[in-house]
A and B are shown apart, each in its own frame.
Chain A
Amino acid sequence: MKDRQLAWRNLWRNRKRTLITAASVFFAVFFALVMRSFQLGTYDKMYSDVIQSYSGYLQLQNPAYLDEPTLDNGFTADPDLVSRIEQDPNVEAVVPRMESFALAAAGNRTQGVMVIGMDPGNDNKALNIRNRMVRFKLTPMAVEALKSENLPGRLSKNLDLFTGEAFTDTDDLVTILGISERDSSAILPLVRKHASFPGEYLMGGETGFAVIGNGLSDYLGTVPGDTLVLMGQGWHGTSAAGLYVIRGVVNMPNPELDNRFVCLTLDDARLLYGAPGMVTSSIIGIRDASEKELAATQARLSAITGKELSVRNWKEMNALLLNQMEADNRSGAIMIGILYLVIAFGVFGTVLMMMAERRREFGMLVSIGMRKGRLAAMVGLEMLLMGVIGIIAGVIASLPIVFLGHAKPLRFTGEMARMYEDYGFDPVMPTLLPDTFYLWQVVVVLLILAVAIAFSVRKIFKLNVINALRA
């Protein structure tokens, strides 16, 4: 009889208790992993959304611009410097941008907006706004028309739920509306017929056009082809005003941005603000965005720009968002901490009970010649097995949810969605695929087990055989 066989049998001699303890470990691991995955996945999405649709990974700025992002803190890019930056192996392109505020009006509605002037020629080397064009929109009219066709019942319900929603491509639409593979060939033509949304992205060389956020478009009640009036303050206090034809609508991931986004060509923006040749920031498109390479690139570029201009990374530029997520992260960590505290007590309860129950048996074993070290190893193994069963089961059970949540992110509708949007978040919760956070959860549970094992090992070494036998 090997000690590990003995440990295995001991594990099952109180089957219910072992199962309950393993189950408590299982649930803690499972919930912690799933919760963490949703949390980290949501942060990850928010970061990548803001990076891809607005800030980029690195920007070239006037040093004063970070604290006071106004036109007056813009700069004129030295083509020589730009070309030197572009020679960096990790730099794809430097995309100049002009960004400021204005009041937008269409019909009888107005809204304060953020105007971004960017060359449509190479903007996709840094951001991917171009891919966010709204191609389909479930306007009330489109929903009515679709419902008059012969659709499966579930789809009609989903149409109601997602009325007003805009989509950039059919893939999006199919997943969100829950159209099955089988139905899609029949339904997609109908969607194209009734819910297509017109519009194009800006083109270089053209003047007098704008692309606006979907939220802004809804608020102003415009469709592509309508006219947008922009009014504001230009460079050094000049007044700025212009008329633009809305060419298309983009679906920005961050509702805050979506409700205020107006994009012009760089030349139009310079003209509007009376600042020829100026930029407020240049987005530096990079190839490898891993944390390490990003820091190295930033350092290399900072050496090129010297004191005159600074190279900012996305974390510096999105400090507010980062802070917000940091705070949220902390509250999540506390939740998980409480979860672990609960299982720590559960595991400890089991250990205490088990040690008390088996005191006599341990006394007998040591009496007849089993060394305490060997006994402790056996008992430790029992507890480790119990914990590991829970951990493995928890990890395995979490995987389908985490992978599914990544492939088909959870999307809130109705009230929930509005609440999220009010906070400025996209009402989508993707999961983060297993990563080091998985390892950490497992390590924490193993540490709890280690403490429980250390406790029982100590108990065994301090066991007084005579007293144990008298018990």
Chain B
Amino acid sequence: MKVVEINDVYKTYHDTEVEVRAVSGVTLGFEKGDFAVIVGPSGSGKTTLLNLIGGLDQPTAGEILVAGHRLSELKPSELIDFRMEHVGFVFQSYNLIPVLTAAENVGFIMSLQKWPKEKRIARTGELLDAVGLSDRHNSRPSQLSGGQQQRVAVARALAPRPEFILADEPTANLDSKSAETLLDIMEKLNREEEMTFIFSTHDVRVMKRARRVITLEDGKVVSDVRTNHTS
């Protein structure tokens, strides 16, 4: 089953006098349960592509379909609701709301979605367990290490069961041990919750763990390889 369909998508920035084609004719599909990584040199358009898939930005041309929604047809406020309902985001850093505890951060989107309190608390507990932070419910982000913060961010993104999770260089700020732990957790959740992960990276360790590697160059897909390994 296709979760994301990208059809001949272009994104051009006109910010300065020069025109930058950040994404240039990309056609891609993501299946449910994918554990895919987008790689490529700096400036190749990884972030731009992820932003387009997540509905943070609109393509200049082409079409993106997510869970039956044609993103170009959504108004800005509808896009915000779309993201809340269907997309989980993990950013490189500053993911968490600093004044909320780990548990409150994990529960945040669920409360935006008006989950009943008991279900929310149960799901939060389950996910903090899954990311190995069952003893840190009441810690504020400032009291957590970078790796722990990223794990909380993954738990938050996953909590309301979105269609997929987008993670733009989630390990870029982490040491290798924390990066491995984060990847272990994402793999486990990918398996156990059948969650689709799409992330970008420069990190060779991350590439090795992915089951699908998409390579971008100058905004174009130059290779899309499925490695059949299971870890």
Contact = CB atoms under 8 A, between A and B. Distances in A.
Given A9-B99, A10-B99, A466-B51, A368 B56 contact: no
14 contacts: A1-B100, A1-B108, A1-B111, A6-B97, A13-B99, A360-B94, A361-B97, A361-B98, A364-B94, A364-B95, A366-B80, A368-B83, A369-B85, A372-B80
B89 interface: yes
Given A1-B104, A465-B56, A466-B57, A369 B112 contact: yes
Interface in A370-389: 370-372
A361 B81 contact: no
Indicate the member of B83, B84, B99, B100 with the most A CB atoms within 10 Å.
B99
Interface of A: 1, 6, 9-10, 13, 360-361, 364-372, 465-466, 469
Contacts of A360: 94
A13 B98 contact: yes
- What size tier do the contact residues of chain B reach? 20 to 34
Give the 7 A-B residue pairs with the shortest CB-CB distance, closest first. A369-B84, A9-B99, A369-B83, A360-B94, A13-B99, A371-B80, A1-B104
Contact of B56 (A6, A9, A361, A367): A367
Contacts of B97: 6, 361, 365
A361 B80 CA distance: 15
B230 interface: no
A414 B15 CA distance: 72
Nearest to B111: A1
A466 B56 CA distance: 7
Interface string B105-137: 001110110000000000000000000000000
Contact of B89 (A1, A13, A367, A466): A367
A364 B89 CA distance: 9
Interface in B47-84: 51, 54, 56-57, 77, 80-81, 83-84
A1 B109 CA distance: 10
A446 to B, nearest CB: 26
Nearest to A12: B99
B95 A370 contact: no
A368 B98 contact: no
A350 B159 CA distance: 35
